[in-house]
Amino acid sequence: MFVVPWIAIFPAALALWWPAARWLSLGLLSIGYGAALAGGQMDAWALLPITGLFAAAYAVSPRRPRYLRGLGHAVFVGLAIALSLHWLPGFHNPRVIGPERFTADAVPFTMYLNLDKPLAGFWLLLVLPWIRRPQVGWGSLRVGLGALVMTLVSCGLMAVLLGLVKWAPKWPSVSGLWLLNNLLLVSLVEEALFRGYLQGGLRRWLGAQPYADEIALGVAATVFGLAHVAGGWPWRGFAMVAGLGYGWAYRGGGLAAAVLAHGGLNVAHFFLFTYPMLAATRPG
């Protein structure tokens, strides 16, 4: 039964790449979340944050007074944090992988298809078109690939030298599901939030201030690193370094380039190295 909502949610997330398909994406999301509610993967409590997101979308419209737009953004930020940390009741995210060891020396890995966390990214892509930088096509691809190479070399080298992972090529049986989840509901959502909203929004707010691009990039990367608190200090550091690469990609190639760099690094980690980390180095 858990598969039913994702038949609509996965293509809805993919459709978000094209602004012209916004209403199609919204319709598919409505079908998917409606199926989750009917199938018991959500209950009535989940309607409260969803209603809050609709209210925030109304409030942040450029036609609203400035104070109301500020209130709408405050509501969204609060809901985004709570949804990302799974603090709100009403969502019964199905476990679809694990606990499973992909290699004998790895920490057991568990994956859920989250219904709560992606809502923040969906909201951003549907409501705030400015988070999409104008760069598209080959220029965006080139910048994204460049950022991917830089982050893969820097983070991969640090992780191997610190003994957190090692070379471990593999193709687990759950690879297809992991790829769909990671690219559409992790990389896309996180980049929309950290690069599109935080970095892009801070850059807009700073305007013509000196070093506005650098400040926005650094703040977003720092917050991105702090958000990876569960992995311990080494992984927070890696996330911060990776966030600098993703931020550089966003600055030069738009959201698509940032998602390419983020998703590409995650894919390389999953298929080529110990995933998620060596058991002997697990924090705590």
pLDDT at 18: 83
Q: Report d(CA 270, CA 279) in Å as an integer.
A: 15
Residue 159 lies in a domain: yes
pLDDT at 231: 67
Q: Report d(CA 124, CA 53) in Å as an integer.
A: 10
Which of 190, 195, 196, 175 is CA-nearest to residue 127? 196
Residue 13 lies in a domain: no
What confidence tier does 84 reach under pLDDT thresholds 50, 70, 90? very high
Q: Report d(CA 16, CA 42) in Å as an integer.
A: 23
Residue 8 lies in a domain: no
Residue 253 lies in a domain: yes
Q: Does residue 170 register a pLDDT over 90?
A: yes
SS3 278: strand
Q: pLDDT per residue over 113-147, tens digit each?
A: 999 999 999 999 999 988 876 656 788 889 999 99
What confidence tier does 17 reach under pLDDT thresholds 50, 70, 90? confident
Residue 49 lies in a domain: no
pLDDT at 10: 93
Count up the domains in the chain and report the number.
1
Residues in the chain, total? 284
Q: Report d(CA 5, CA 9) in Å as an integer.
A: 6
**Site of tokens 């013509």:** 208
Write out the residue range of the structural domain in which residue 219 sits: 131-284
Residue 69 lies in a domain: no
Residue 219 lies in a domain: yes
Note the Cα 242 to chain centre separation in Å.
13
pLDDT at 169: 97
Q: pLDDT per residue over 218-263, tens digit each?
A: 999 999 999 987 767 788 889 999 999 999 999 999 999 999 999 9
Residue 92 lies in a domain: no
Residues 6 or more apart in contact with residue 179 via CB below 8 angstroms? 267
Average pLDDT over residues 201-207: 93
Main-chain dihedrals φ then ψ at residue 75, nearest 5 degrees = -65, -45
What confidence tier does 281 reach under pLDDT thresholds 50, 70, 90? low
95 membership: H or E segment, kind and range: strand 95-100
Cβ atoms within 10 Å, residue 6: 24
